[in-house]
Amino acid sequence: MGIFSPGFTGRRHESKEELPPGQYLERGFPVLSAGPTPRIDKRDWELTLVTERGERRSWNWQQMLDLGPEEIATDIHCVTAWSKLGTSWRGVPLDRFLDGVETEAQYLFAGSYGGYTTNMPLGELKGRAWVAFEYDGADLDPEHGGPARLLVPHLYFWKSAKWVNSLRLLTADEPGFWERNGYNMHGDPWREERYW
């Protein structure tokens, strides 16, 4: 039932315009951070991908932009039960970072400045995950993960690691910060995969 318009180049609209079970509609944009907000200058920002064999690739801010960002229109769902419909973002698809990477990995383990981590299955992220750096036409606020955060809107929002700076490819699943504290290893809001 999702709306997807592949003909409209450079823009992705993936809003179901519907609330998953147990969610309510939020008009504001709550901030949920497990610790203090790190202040990372774009000039110092770096993202590192590490494969299961220890091969590494890194991007600075400009190199990340050179991968080709796109507009994203999507709904987001927090496990604390708020959802926002039709939010607008700009970000680089995860697929671009994985281009040409040889891997047998089945899981992505994202890490952030400040130490936050979260895990998710890699196979379902094609076309559905971004490194996002703009929200609603403006630079992403530090409180919301700026300069750049992961955006994985088909899973509960705790999987969208703010201040992302590492992407580890794993062959065996590993719990991240909230997953070690009882949150679901997958986190599909349509199946209410909230906790273990």
Ligand X SMILES: Nc1nc2c(c(=O)[nH]1)N[C@H]1C(S)=C(S)[C@@H](COP(=O)(O)O)O[C@H]1N2
The binding site for ligand X (CB under 6 A) comprises 30-34, 78, 112, 114, 116, 144-145, 157-158, 160-163
Q: Is 101 in the site for Mo ion (CB under 5 A)?
A: no
- Residue 108: how many CB atoms within 10 A of its CB? 26
The closest alpha carbon to 189, from 28, 108, 78, 24, belongs to: 78
How far is the C-alpha of 194 from the C-alpha of 23, rounded, in Å?
12
Q: Is 32 in the site for Mo ion (CB under 5 A)?
A: yes
Work out how close the CB of 195 gets to ligand X at its nearest, in angstroms, rounded to a whole number: 13
Give me Rg for the CA atoms of the chain: 16
Residues 6+ apart with CB under 8 A from 179: 118, 119, 185
Comparing CB distances to ligand X, the nearer of 45 and 163 is: 163
How far is the C-alpha of 77 from the C-alpha of 190, rounded, in Å?
10
The stretch near Mo ion (CB under 5 A) out of 24-32, 52-60, 126-134, 180-188 is: 24-32
Q: Is 31 in the site for Mo ion (CB under 5 A)?
A: no
Work out how close the CB of 161 gets to ligand X at its nearest, in angstroms, rounded to a whole number: 5
Work out how close the CB of 8 gets to ligand X at its nearest, in angstroms, rounded to a whole number: 26
Work out how close the CB of 100 gets to ligand X at its nearest, in angstroms, rounded to a whole number: 28
Q: Which among ligand X, Mo ion, none contacts residue 144 (Cβ within 5 to 8 A by kind)?
A: ligand X
Q: Which among ligand X, Mo ion, none contacts residue 163 (Cβ within 5 to 8 A by kind)?
A: ligand X
Work out how close the CB of 158 gets to ligand X at its nearest, in angstroms, rounded to a whole number: 3
Q: Is 85 in the site for Mo ion (CB under 5 A)?
A: no
CB 14 within 8 Å of CB 2: yes
CB 124 within 8 Å of CB 105: no
Pull the structure tokens for residue 187. Answer: 């986190």
Q: Is 158 in the site for Mo ion (CB under 5 A)?
A: yes
Residues in the chain: 196
Q: Which among Mo ion, ligand X, none contacts residue 154 (Cβ within 5 to 8 A by kind)?
A: none
Place of tokens 């971004």: 130
Residues at the interface with Mo ion (CB under 5 A): 32, 78-79, 158
